[in-house]
Structure 1
Amino acid sequence: MYRSSNPVLRNQAFAGQTVGQEQMTVNGTINKILTLFMCILFGALVTWAVAESNPGLAFLLTGVGGFGGFIMCLVIIFSRPAQPGTMMGIYAILEGFFLGGFTLIMESMYPGIAMQAGMGTICVFGVMFMIYRFEIIKPTERFMIGVSSAMGAVFLIYLLSFFLSFAGMGIPFLHSSGPVGILISLIFIGIAALMLIVDFGVIEAGVKNKAPASMEWWGAFGLTITLIWVYIEMVRLISKLRNN
């Protein structure tokens, strides 16, 4: 059994299949990934369509998508539904609402940033997949614990920054466009990129261990979350660079 410290992809989830169950496959996981990204695209298109006639409602959708997506993600992770497809689809649509509005706002401030960030995300995905495929970096248990711990630290930093903002405070350099702020964004992108190695490793191990077919959703879910993170960090980095 493949061991993972990723809370989305828990150890027991990728144990071998029981008799009579369909097993996890690479093609099945890819189909689930495409399904989630179609849901994200749908949500983004809804926000864009609404923004043309009612910018205020689009802004509301963005907030609902961001907060609702975060809550839905936590519910999915901690409730561990046996058939998570519907809940994950709802999560993806909510994320689409948020990403659609987020992209519109950033595009209005930095024309062309959406395409630049999108291409950057694709490049990061491609490079990390090749690094994984040629075993330049292997997702060992220590590696996975280290990367997951770093991811948790980033999450706590953003969470602290969010709460401090209500008091008119912030974490120094986190949002600055200076050299330190740019370095922070590069570090965060690096951590997110390494999480892709974790995702690839867990998916491959699930297939090799003949995990139940329902685990395809979990593999797709983890990879989708990481790619969303890479995209957001890429937008933040490019916006900082263009401020200079």
Structure 2
Amino acid sequence: MAFKPGFDQSPAFNNQGPNTWGGRGAGQQQAGWGQTPQQAQGGMTPEQLQYMYDRPAASTVDTDRMSYEDTIVKTLLAFGVLVVGAVAGWNAPMIVWIIGAVAGFVLALVNMFKKQPSPGLVLAYSFAQGLFVGGISHYYQNAFGGIVVQAVFGTLGVFAVTLALFASGKVRATPKATRFFLVAMVGYLVFSLINLVLMWTGVTQTAFGALGFEIFGIPLGVIIGILVVVMAAYSLILDFDQIQTGVRRGAPRIYAWTAAFGLIVTIVWLYLEILRILAIVASSQRN
């Protein structure tokens, strides 16, 4: 099993999960998470066993288990809060969406390392991140008209293609690919921090160096951006894979919020990277 950073802290998605939760029953004990019906039958009378088997099959809602449908609903709710925050950030002064960026970063760390998910914290993260996304989108829209719509459709396109490939079984997360993904993530983070320092000190003027620096006629920032988009797409694969794992294990329903959080983080990352690529291309065309 390949784990995405943040998910590996949650017992719903790592190898420590099974046999740690019990089901909720109405007047009787249900089989625990990861426990077979035979294991849960100890001490039950024949009449109780017959009653249990005569009952209609319980749904994931009845058993308080994670399901694809519930995960979709929670993800859409978090995404709706993100959009509300984005609308507010679009119309707010820069200081507001900068505060949103800082708050979103802090809330992301809290959610990533919290074993028991909190719906309130996930929604708070979505709103704070929405403030930042809306504000920076407005900034780019004023600088390069039209690229926000392109970035939105680009993000939806990458998401749809990745989901389709995963659903078809043609693409799966593997431990080897995930290790490469983690190494690339660390490298990208270090590179970004170095580049940020160079910008603050005036050595470079734009993200990833001067726009005039090109490889085979393509700005360096675009090449790096494409690689990062591929990384974000693989992060989506990890999200889908671990949602599938949680559902198959019968993880408690609350962990659908962890899955929703992971998807929101990746979608925002993907959108911002596509927006940045479009901004570099538009800027290079002006020069």
Q: Please indicate, yes or no, whether the TM-score normalized by the shorter chain is above 0.5.
A: yes
| Residue correspondence of structure 1 range 48-127 to structure 2 within 5 A | 48-50=90-92, 58-78=93-113, 80=114, 82-127=116-161
Superposition deviation, residue 164 in structure 1? 4.1
- Specify which of 225, 231, 239 is matched with residue 279 of structure 2: 239
State the partner residue of 1:220.
260
Structure 1: unaligned runs, 5 residues or longer = 51-57
Identity %: 26
Amino acid at match of 1:64: I
How many residues were matched structurally? 234
CA contact (8 A) 2:71 2:260 kept: yes
Bigger radius of gyration: 2
Aligned to 2:48: none
Verify the 8 A CA contact 2:101 2:132 in the aligned structure 1: yes
Which of 1 and 2 has higher RCO (CA within 8 Å, sep 6+)? Answer: 1
* Partner AA of 1:207 in structure 2: V
> CA offsets per residue over residues 59-103 of structure 1, 9 Å max, x none?
01111011111111112222x152411011111111011011100
**1:170 positional shift:** 5.0
1:185 matched to 2:242? The reply is no
For the 8 Å contact 1:176–1:240, the answer to whether it is kept is no
Aligned to 1:200: 240
CA distance in 2, matches of 1:145, 1:199: 15
Instruction: Check if 1:43 corresponds to 2:85.
Output: yes
Gaps of 5+ in 2: 25-63
Corresponding position: 1:159 with 2:157: no
Residues of 1 paired with 2:175 and 2:277: CA distance?
Answer: 30
- Normalised to the residue count of structure 2, the TM-score between the two structures is 0.75
| Deviation digits for residues 172-207 of structure 1 (CA, Å, limit 9, x no counterpart) | 971544422211111111111111111110111110
1:68 and 1:170 mapped to 2: Cα distance? 28
Write the letter of the residue equivalent to 2:191: I
Q: Distance in 2 between matches of 1:45 and 1:159?
A: 29
CA separation in 1, counterparts of 2:281 and 2:90? 26
Higher fraction of helix? 1
The whole-number CA distance in structure 1 between the counterparts of 2:264 and 2:222 is 25
Q: Is the 8 A contact 1:65 1:96 kept in 2?
A: yes
Change (3 A) 1:214 1:155: farther
Q: TM-score, normalised by structure 1?
A: 0.88
Which amino acid counterpart does residue 67 of structure 2 have in structure 1?
T
> 1:54 is matched with which residue?
none
Task: Give deviations 1:152-179, integer Å, cap 9, x for gaps.
Answer: 3323332333344433345997154442
